[in-house]
Amino acid sequence: MNGLWRIVGTIGIMSWGMAAMNTAGGSGGDLQKVMLPDAVRGWQADGADHAYDAETIFDYIDGAGEVYRAYNMKSLFSRRYKKAGRPDIIADVFDMGSAADAFGVFTHDLDGEGWSVGQGSVYKGGLLSFWKDRYFASIFAEDETEEAKAMLLDLGRRLAASIGPEGEKPLLLGALPAAYADPKRVHFFHHPVILNYHFFVSADNVLGLDSKVEGLLVKAADQSALVVVRYPDESRAASAFKAVRAAFLPGASGPGAIQAGDKTWTAAGLQGRTLAVLFRGRTEAAARDAVGETADHIRKLGL
C-alpha cells in the first residue's frame, strides 16, 4: 500500500505516464531517470517501474483515484527502492498538469512536520509528500527508521531539484484576509467532493463547482470557515451567489448576514467573478468583516 493512503485513507494517487514526463522540462528523453535516481544511500531501484494515467490509476489504487482525478490529474510514475535488511522505499511522482493542481493535491493533507522540500512539504509516519511546479510527490518508507528518513529527505531533495523552476501558486491565495491566511489551514479545490471532505457545505452543489472554477477553503482556529470561489465568468458567479443566498441566507437584506441554528453567523459577498462565503462566524460583525476584507483583496488583485 502506498504511504499516502495510510494517512488520508480514501484519498488516491495519480499517474505519471511517459508522454507526460517528456513534456515536464529538461532535454526530454527518459525523464524517469532524470527525476528519480537509480540509487540513493545504498537503496537501489528494483527495476519494476510503473506508469499510470487517469484511467489506469484504478489498477494501482482501486476505489481511491477519484479524488486525484478531481484535481485534473495527468499521470503517475512509481518506483520502488530496495536495500538488503532495510525497509522498501516507494516513490510516486504525479504530473498534475498545472502548478495550481499540484498545490491543490498537496493541500489535501497538511498534517505533519515541514521538511523544506520543494515548494511545500510535510513528513509524518514514514511518508514525505511535497509539491513543486506541476508535480506532486509521495515518498514512503515501509518501516520508519532514522536511516530510512535520511534516505527520504535525500531522495526528495534530489527529485525537487531535478524538477527545475518553481511554479506559481493560485492567485486566489492573495484574496484571503489575514485571519484566514495560515498556509497550514488552506485547501485548494475544484469539486464539491473535495470541499465537503474538509468542510461539509451541502449535499447539493450549491456553489456550482466544477473543473473550471478555483476554490479555497480555510478553517480558522475559531472554527469559522471561509470559502472563496473564482468562476470563469461573472454570469456563473452571479448564479452561484443567488443559490448561496437562497440556501444559506434566506431573508437577509443587501450583502447581509444571518444567524444559524447553532448561533453562529453566515455571510456572503460577490465581487466580479469571485464569491466569498463565511460560515460559522462567531459574531455578525466577524462574518461581515471576513467577507468584506476578502472583497477588498479581490478588487486589488483584479479577480
The string of pLDDT tens digits covering residues 60-77 is 876 666 778 889 989 999
Cα–Cα distance between 36 and 51 in angstroms, integer? 13
Residues in the chain: 303
Number of domains composing the chain: 2
Average pLDDT, the chain: 87
Q: How many CB atoms lie within 10 A of CB 72?
A: 18
Structural domain boundaries, residue 37: 3-163
d(CA 190, CA 215): 6
Given a contact cutoff of 8 angstroms between Cβ atoms, the answer to whether 140 and 122 are in contact is no
Q: Which residue has the higher pLDDT, 281 or 22?
A: 281
Q: Do 128 and 201 reside in the same domain of the chain?
A: no
* Residues 19-23, mean pLDDT to the nearest whole number: 30
d(CA 81, CA 39): 8
CATH number at residue 49: 3.40.1000.20
Confidence tier at 3 by pLDDT (50, 70, 90):
very low
Question: Per-residue pLDDT for 15 more than 90?
Answer: no
Instruction: Write down the pLDDT at residue 30.
Output: 47
Q: What proportion of the chain, given as a percentage, has pLDDT over 70?
A: 86
Q: Is 78 in the same domain as 150?
A: yes
Q: Are residues 158 and 176 in the same domain?
A: no
- For residue 295, the domain's CATH number is 3.40.1000
Residue 90 has pLDDT above 60, yes or no: yes
Both 131 and 205 in one domain: the answer is: no
Confidence of residue 21 (pLDDT cuts 50, 70, 90): very low
Per-residue pLDDT band for 277 (boundaries 50, 70, 90) equals very high
* Domain termination residue (choose one: 102, 136, 163): 163
Best-predicted range by mean pLDDT among 3-17, 63-77, 144-158?
Answer: 144-158
Same domain for 146 and 16:
yes
Residue ending a domain, choose from 163, 194, 220: 163
* Residues 131 and 60 occupy one common structural domain: yes
One DSSP character per residue, 82-133 reads E-TTS--EEEEEEE-SSHHHHHHHHHT---SB----TTEEEEETTEEEEEET
Instruction: Clarify whether residues 49 and 111 are in a common domain.
Output: yes
pLDDT of 188 above 50: yes
Residues 144 and 269 both lie in one domain = no
- Are 193 and 234 within one domain? yes
Sequence-separated (6 or more) residues with CB below 8 Å from residue 278 = 224, 225, 226, 227, 265, 266, 267, 268, 286, 287, 290, 291
pLDDT value, residue 64: 65
Both 16 and 84 in a single domain?
A: yes
Residues 6+ apart with CB under 8 A from 59: 52
Which pLDDT belongs to residue 63? 64
pLDDT in tens, 223-243: 999 999 999 999 999 999 999
* Final residue before a domain boundary, out of 139, 163, 187: 163
- Please tell me the predicted confidence (pLDDT) of residue 34: 58
Residues 158 and 272 in one domain: no
Mean pLDDT of 136-155: 96
Name the burial class of residue 156, with classes exposed (0-12), middle (13-18) and buried (19+) by CB atoms within 10 angstroms of its CB: buried
At 20, the pLDDT band (50, 70, 90 cuts) reads very low
What CA–CA distance (Å, rounded) separates 142 from 127? 9
Q: Which of 85, 89, 83 is nearest to 127 (CA)?
A: 89
Q: Which three cell numbers stand for residue 69?
A: 482525478
Q: What is the per-residue pLDDT for 137?
A: 94
CA distance 270 to 255: 8
Q: Which residue has the cell 486589488?
A: 300
Let me know whether 87 and 178 are in one domain: no
d(CA 257, CA 26): 52
Q: pLDDT band at residue 38, thresholds of 50, 70 and 90?
A: very high
